[in-house]
Amino acid sequence: MTIAKKKNDKQTILLEDEVSYGSSLTGRSDLKPSPRAKAAGSRRERKTIQDVLLREGLLAAKLAVGLASTEQLQEKLQQELSQNSAETRRRYAQSILLWFFGDGVDGLARQAWQAYEDEQLERDILRYLYLTAEPLVGNCVAKCLFPLEEGMLIPAAYFERYLRDALGEQPPAKTLERLKMNLAKLGFLDRSSSQGDRLGRITFDKTAFLVVFHSIFSPTGPRTVELASILSNPFWQHLGLKSEQAVRAILREADAAHLLGKYVVADQLEQVTICFSLRDFLKRRARL
């Protein structure tokens, strides 16, 4: 039996078995939670899923520049969103603030836009922020889709089983469909095939990885972090990476580009020394 055949057999078992994804709707990390994580964790866990608003989130990141509060941003969004209904604009503005500005108007979304003014990089940041703020979708990416290979055909029952395990009850058909629709909008699901849904391939900016990395592990200043703690945080899966080796490769590249203090691998020790705070990293407009 070839290695490829063994891999395919393992994937089939994952798809067919009654795999338990756990009932927890929040991620885990060995590190002390960042302000962003605390804000997300304090939110009401919801059993419904709304349509993700990435295009509108990008608009909000641009509009946030120069504003002093989320209240001002909400008012501005309600004026600028394209929907005809005032009530729809109000609801959309509230969702945008919940997903992308849980850390305030001068949070990661605005800081990243001010530093780079790069729409692709900003979309990667917004994908991470959304999946952090909506753990029902975020856990689907990190626990349900991550073990599968790109291009694999995914039975509808796979998502239904995930939702049933996560919610503790049979999911409404609308929730199941919106989960798949949002995963497609985020790039994780290809729904174009007549055979069914396939796992998509995420193309992301490596600089976005470093921006999110600094926001989590060095928001206020330099520190040393064990690689195990980095890998235990699902941010890299939310960004679209498919292996721990891919994380190591980006960190090594960042180290070679002098964007990290040091990446050490010796015996059983594997750790990263971060030399910039998030604001210092963004101030440099560092690129990888």
Q: Per-residue pLDDT tens for 166-214?
A: 999 998 889 999 999 999 999 999 988 888 899 999 988 999 999 999 9
- Which pLDDT belongs to residue 282? 96
Alpha-carbon gap, residue 115 to 281, rounded angstroms:
9
10, part of any domain = no
Q: Give tens-digit pLDDT for 109-165.
A: 999 999 999 999 999 999 999 999 999 999 999 999 999 988 899 987 999 999 999
* Banded model confidence at residue 83, pLDDT cuts 50, 70, 90: very high
Instruction: Say which residues have a Cβ less than 8 Å from residue 165's Cβ, sequence separation at least 6.
Output: 20, 21, 22, 23
The pLDDT score that the predictor gives to residue 25 is: 37
Which of 97, 117, 137 corresponds to the end of one domain? 117
Specify the range with the lowest mean pLDDT, choosing from 36-45, 117-126, 145-154, 228-237.
36-45
Q: Which one of 117, 137, 162 terminates a domain? A: 117
Q: What are phi and psi of 153, to 5 degrees?
A: -75, 130
Helix (H, G, I), strand (E, B) or coil at 261: coil
Q: What is the bridge-based pairing of β-strands 189-190 and 197-199?
A: antiparallel
Q: How many domains in the chain?
A: 2
User: Has residue 62 been placed in a domain?
Assistant: yes
* Residue 123 located in a structural domain: no
**pLDDT for residue 35 is more than 60:** no
Please tell me whether the overall predicted TM-score, pTM, comes out greater than 0.85 for this model.
no
Residue 218, domain member (yes or no): yes
On whether residue 156 sits in a domain, the answer given is no
Does residue 86 lie within any of the structural domains? yes
Q: What percent of the chain has pLDDT over 70?
A: 84
Confidence category of residue 15, pLDDT binned at 50, 70, 90: low
Q: Domain boundary residue among 100, 117, 134?
A: 117
Task: With respect to residue 227, please indicate whether it lies within any of the assigned structural domains.
Answer: yes
Domain residue limits at 239: 206-283
Q: Specify if 264 maps to a domain.
A: yes
